[in-house]
Structures are given as C-alpha cells and as structure tokens.
Amino acid sequence: MGFGSIKRYLVIIPPLMWLGLFFLIPFFVVLQVSLSDPALTRPPYTAIFTWDSWFPSGYIGDFENYAFLWSDSLYWRSYANSLKIAAVGSFICLLIGYPIAYVIARANSRTRNTLLLLVILPFWTSSLLRVYALIGMYSPNGFINSSLSFFGIIDTPLQLMQTDFAVYSGIVITYLPLMILPLYSALEKLNDDLIEASSDLGAYPLATFWRVTLPLSISGIIAGSLLVFIPSVGEFVIPALLGGPDQLMIGKTLWTEFFNNRDWPVASSVAMIMLAFLVIPMMFLRNTQGLKE
Amino acid sequence: MSKRHPFVLAMAGFGYAILYIPILIMIIYSFNSSKLVTVWAGWSTKWYGELLSNGQLAQAAWISLTVAFWAATIGIIFGTMIGYALARFRRFKGKLLLNGMSTAPIVMPEVVTGLSLLLLFISMESLIGWPAGRGLTTVIIAHATFCMAFVAVVVQGRLSDFDVSIEEAAMDLGARQPYIFFTITLPIIMPAIIAGWLLAFTLSFDDLVIASFVSGPGSSTLPIVIFSKVRLGVTPEINALATIIVAVVAVGVIAANWLALRSEAPKQTDESE
C-alpha cells in the first residue's frame, strides 16, 4: 500500500531491532557459552576468543560440553524421556480433546459459545496454579486419597504424586485448551452434508467417523498435537512439581544444571541440543495454520 | 443421529471435568478453616485475611502487575507495528526475518528463552555496562519480547480480515497514510489490540520460568514466590490467592465475551462480501 519506503522503515526497523537484540542475538550468546568452559569467575564461564584490543585474535572454544552430554547417559535419558512424555501427553490430549471439540462444533451457536468459553477460561488462568491444583488432588493427604480412605476403599494412600500419571495429568490440565481450539476450528468447517451423505449411504456412525470426520480434521489434529508437543518437551513446572526426583525431563535438567550446579556452559549446550530437536516440529507448526489462534 | 451420541457427550463431559474439578476443589479448600488440607473443619474466610497481611505476597503481586503492565504496553506498540507491516506491506527487506522472529518466541521453550536472555543481559553488562544487574527492567524486556509476538499474531489476523477498500477509499480521497492509520485502521483494529494487551498481560503475569532466569533479588514476581511456597506442598494461603486470581480472570473473560457478543451483531451487516 501507499507507505513511502522511508516511512515504512520507521514501522519495520524498531521491532526488527528489538527482536534482533533480544531474541536473535541471545542464541549466539548461548552458542558461545556452550563452547566455553566453566570457570570460577563472574560470569562463571571462560571466553572463547582471545582479544587483541577490539578484534578477536584467536579462538579457544571447544565442543567439550557437547562431548560430555554425549558421554553421560543422564542427558540422553532426559531428552528421550521428554520426547516420550510430550508425545504420549499430546496423544492423551488428543483423545480427551477430540470429543470436546466435536461436541462444540456440532452444538447450536448459543451452546457453542458457552462451551468454547469453558475451554478458553482455564487457558487464561495461570498454568502454575492449575498444576498446583493437581497437587491438592493427588498428594498423599490430598482430595483423592482422603476421599478414598474416608469411604474405606483404601487403607494406605495411593502413590499418585511423583508418577508418570501425575505428569501426564499436568500436561492435560495445562495444554488441553491448545489441543481443543485447532481441532474445533477444523471440525467447525466440516460440512454436515458429508456426514449425512455417509450415513444415508449406509455407513455406521463409527465408519463415518473413521472415513469422513477424522481424515477431514487432520489439519486440526496436526496443529493441536504440535501445540501440545512443542511446549511439553521443554516443560519445567510440571515435572518439577508433579514428577519424582528420578523423573528426567530436559527442561528440568537444564534448570538444575543452571541454578543448582551453576554449570552455565553445560546448561547452554543442553539448550542448543533442545533447539535442534525442536526445529523440525516448529517448522511444521509454521506451515500448518496452528498459530492462527 | 450421530450428532448427539451419548458416548461422545459423556467423553466431552469427562474432558470438562478434568479441566475444572481440580480448580473447584482448590476453591472449596480455600474456605476450609483447618490448616491441615486433609481435614475439613468448616467454612471460614480466615486464609483470605492472612493473605492480605502477607507482605511478601503483596509485594510480589505488585511487582508482577507492574511488569505485566509495561510488558503488555510495549508488546502492543511493537506487536501492532509488526502485525501491520506483515499484513499490509507487500514486500520489504527483512520481511522473512521479521516474520520468523515474531512467531518463534511463541513456540520457544521457556527455559531456552530465559537462559538466552540472561546470558545476553550479562554479556551486555560486561560490554556496555547496561543493564546494571537484574531487576524489573530485565524482566520487563524479557516479557515484552514474547508479548509482542502474541500481539503481532492477533493484530495480523484482524488486519487480514478487514476490508482494505476502506483504507483505499480514504487514500483516493487524498488522505495521507499516517492520518489514515490513526483515524481509520487503528479504530477498526482496536478490539484486537485490546485483546492482545489482555493476552500479553496475562501471559506476563503467569510466567514463572523466564522471570526466574532474568529477575534479580528484589524483583521476585508473584509466580516465583508462589512456586517457592508450592514446592513445599499445599498451603491454604495459596489456595486463597489462587481462588482470587481465578475469580478475577473468570469475571474478566466472561465480561469480555459478553461485550464481544453484543458488538458482533451490528458489525455483521457492514461486512459485505
């Protein structure tokens, strides 16, 4: 449109500079720190270049931290477990979210609005508090255990906290809305006539679902699954609050390296590898319509 | 027929129950007069009283509100610029870069964002002496960065929906571009900007991980304080605090939804095509 090109750049340059400085450059800093060695200085890492006044004169960085990650199975198990938890968690969200999205999409417009609101509402409340609410349910003296023992069903409390089950519950309560919304927008576009045609032609409801509804909502399934999977991989709060001490997830491992062990170079290389794992799903997400609300 | 299959309805009900039951139980227990979470000792509002007299939580809440206000405000200014540039400027140098950098913060793992910004702030401090230490400023900068990404998505979506011919008509009538933006475009996309501000405010107010990396000793936000308490287990005070936050959010979201529904009816008529 009619913006003169100089005026255009008045609009483009400020955000470009902000994001360049506070989003792009930081990754190069992380890369640099990941190639350095820990040191008892402030900040606690060595330089990777030797400097001759303003110009770098030599390179002394190395891939020692990456070699260390490779050699210690703790990190491999953290990555593998994060990917597993995120994948299974996304699938559980899909199983729970699909019927909700389906019911919302098929409801009349008044009910639909209320049902959608009920999905969006928890999304606006803090995920930390929702995860916290689960502790009140699952802890040994929490709601479930005290109810069960009140009715005499159990004698000793069930171990619900610090289990995979608790972590999956955390993923569901945190990310379920992100699964439902893209599923809903895919299912909403689905033409009722197609479903009617299928049943007119004698298909059972289940067959209609498998052969018509499900294939036509595949874009929503992909977008929703990626929106749950990607943040779940790097999740810190859920494993920290609901998982056990042996529950390895890479977000928690990075946190521990940084805050407890104060090994910034190793934490940085953990971050770089995590990014490498996530680049492909992120690219996928950009190509689906997932980000559009 | 298959529209209202009882099994599907039951599954959907189950899903809603999963989302709401933990929150409802937390709300009920916030009115429990016993300090022990297990024992129900009758209704009481004493934890709300304790909450009001807890100076640490009050200070953290104030810090979080300040951070969220500024982060969301910077977020809508830059986010609107990004959304406008991406939706309206056909081709420009750096469009791909701007597009990529404005969507990536949304999907970036929080631990990575937090770590990378902290390392940047520390490097900048040793290079140019700013920012001196970590505090409110660094948390606001960190939050504003992901806030503008979310606002850009919302604004861009709204801009690509609305009729460009209104802007073109004004241009044909001789109006200059900044004038058109402030008198026509901005009022039309205002609901999206307000929604973006509220979304950004909420995201900033809720953030624990990024703030943990970039905050300093005197700038612990509410989630940081809550997290440090919650790690030790369930406390009735946090139940009360969470109940207040949930109530405020619920009222806000329902009110916003009601307003949006009311304003939607007349709008449909002038959107031909």
Q: Which tokens sit at A34?
A: 């990941």
Which ranges constitute the DSSP H helices of A35-163? 64-71, 73-106, 109-124, 127-138, 143-150
B178 contacts A4? CB cut-off 8 A: no
**What does each C-alpha distance from A92 to A98, A168, B153, B185 come to in angstroms?**
10, 8, 28, 43
Residues in contact with A257: Cβ distance below 8 Å, sequence separation at least 6, in sequence order: A263, A266, A267, A270
Please say whether the beta carbons of A106 and A100 come within 8 A. Answer: no
CA B184/CA A261 separation, integer angstroms: 55
Interface of A with B in 261-290 (CB under 8 A): 264, 267-268, 271, 274-275, 278, 282, 285-286
**Mutate which of B234, B239, B254 to test chain A, going by most A C-beta atoms within 10 A?**
B234
pLDDT band for B217, please (50, 70, 90 cuts).
confident
Mean pLDDT value across residues B121-132: 86
CA B68/CA B140 separation, integer angstroms: 7
Q: Which pLDDT value is given to residue A293? A: 43
Q: Is pLDDT above 90 for A179? A: yes
Domain definitions of chain B by residue range? 55-270
Residues in contact with B89: Cβ distance below 8 Å, sequence separation at least 6, in sequence order: A1, A3, A8, A11, A12, B95
Q: What is the least distance, in Å, from the CA of A140 to any CA of chain B?
A: 9
The answer to whether A111 faces chain B, any CB pair under 8 Å, is: no
Q: How many angstroms from the chain centroid is the CA of residue A12?
A: 30
Tell me which chain B residues have a C-beta less than 8 angstroms from the C-beta of A103.
8-9, 12
| Stronger pLDDT, A45 or B121, i.e. the higher one | B121
Mean pLDDT value across residues B26-45: 82
Least confident of A74-83, A151-160, A252-261: A151-160
Instruction: Let me know if residue A13 belongs to a domain.
Output: no
Q: What is the least distance, in Å, from the CA of B60 to any CA of chain A?
A: 15
Q: Is pLDDT above 70 for B272? A: no
pLDDT band for B5, please (50, 70, 90 cuts).
confident
Tell me which chain B residues have a C-beta less than 8 angstroms from the C-beta of A126.
205-206, 223, 242, 245
Instruction: Let me know if residue A100 belongs to a domain.
Output: yes
How many helices (H) and strands (E) are present in chain B, helices listed first? 12, 0
Q: What is the least distance, in Å, from the CA of B83 to any CA of chain A?
A: 10
The answer to whether A60 faces chain B, any CB pair under 8 Å, is: no
With a cut of 0.85, is the ipTM above it? yes
The whole model's pTM is what?
A: 0.90
Q: Name the residue of chain B whose CA is nearest to A208's CA.
A: B2
Task: Indicate the Cα dihedral angle B41, B43, B45, B46, nearest 10°.
Answer: -20
Q: What is the largest distance, in Å, between two alpha-carbon atoms of chain B? A: 73
The answer to whether B139 faces chain A, any CB pair under 8 Å, is: no
Identity of the amino acid at B77? I
Task: Indicate the Cα dihedral angle B119, B125, B130, B136, nearest 10°.
Answer: 50
pLDDT in tens, A42-66: 778 877 777 677 777 777 778 888 9
The answer to whether B186 faces chain A, any CB pair under 8 Å, is: no
Residue A235: helix, strand or coil by DSSP? coil
Least confident of A44-58, A86-100, B41-55, B122-136: A44-58
Which among A19, A29, A176 has CB closest to B102? A19
How many helices (H) and strands (E) are present in chain A, helices listed first? 15, 2
The answer to whether B255 faces chain A, any CB pair under 8 Å, is: no
Q: Is pLDDT above 90 for B137? A: yes
Q: Which tokens sit at A136?
A: 């009140």
So what CATH class is B55-270?
mainly alpha
The answer to whether B94 faces chain A, any CB pair under 8 Å, is: yes
The DSSP bridge partners found for residue B222 are none
**∠ CA A6-A7-A9, rounded to 5°:** 65
B148 contacts A15? CB cut-off 8 A: yes
| Stronger pLDDT, A277 or A176, i.e. the higher one | A176
Residues in contact with B107: Cβ distance below 8 Å, sequence separation at least 6, in sequence order: A230, A231, A278, A282, A285
Identity of the amino acid at A226? L
Q: Is pLDDT above 90 for A249? A: yes
| Stronger pLDDT, B164 or A293, i.e. the higher one | B164
CA B190/CA A110 separation, integer angstroms: 26
Name the one residue in this structure whose structure tokens are 């900007």.
Answer: B193
The answer to whether B253 faces chain A, any CB pair under 8 Å, is: yes
Query: What is the full DSSP assignment across A8-64?
Result: HHHHHHHHHHHHIIIIIHHHHHHHHHHTS-B-SSSSSB--SEEEETTEEEEE---SH
pLDDT in tens, B48-97: 988 888 888 999 999 999 999 999 999 999 999 999 999 888 788 888 88
The answer to whether B101 faces chain A, any CB pair under 8 Å, is: yes
Instruction: Go through chain A and tell me how many residues it has.
Output: 293
Q: Name the residue of chain B whose CA is nearest to A230's CA.
A: B107
Q: Is pLDDT above 70 for B266? A: no
Q: Which tokens sit at A152?
A: 């005499």
Instruction: Let me know if residue A55 belongs to a domain.
Output: no
Tell me which chain A residues have a C-beta less than 8 angstroms from the C-beta of B81.
11-12, 14-15
B153 contacts A133? CB cut-off 8 A: no
Q: Is pLDDT above 80 for B269? A: no
Tell me which chain B residues have a C-beta less than 8 angstroms from the C-beta of A241.
230-231
Instruction: Let me know if residue A131 belongs to a domain.
Output: yes
Instruction: Let me know if residue A273 belongs to a domain.
Output: yes
CA B29/CA A144 separation, integer angstroms: 13
The answer to whether A54 faces chain B, any CB pair under 8 Å, is: no
Instruction: Let me know if residue A202 belongs to a domain.
Output: yes
Please say whether the beta carbons of B233 and A135 come within 8 A. Answer: yes
Instruction: Let me know if residue A25 belongs to a domain.
Output: no
Which ranges constitute the DSSP H helices of B31-163? 46-52, 55-88, 95-107, 110-128, 136-161
pLDDT in tens, B167-215: 888 888 888 878 888 888 898 889 889 989 999 999 999 999 999 999 9
The total of structural domains in chain A comes to 1
Q: Please name which of A28, A71, A204 lies closest in space to residue B116, comparing C-alpha atoms.
A: A28
Residue B86: helix, strand or coil by DSSP? helix
Q: Which range of residues forms the domain containing residue A213?
A: 72-287
Residue B32: helix, strand or coil by DSSP? strand
CA A101/CA A183 separation, integer angstroms: 6
B242 contacts A132? CB cut-off 8 A: yes
Which is it for the CA torsion A142, A144, A150, A152, positive or negative? negative
Please say whether the beta carbons of A253 and A82 come within 8 A. Answer: no
**∠ CA B232-A123-B113, rounded to 5°:** 70
Question: CATH number of the domain that A279 lies in?
Answer: 1.10.3720.10
Q: Please name which of B167, B22, B89 lies closest in space to residue A15, comparing C-alpha atoms.
A: B89
Please say whether the beta carbons of B153 and A293 come within 8 A. Answer: yes
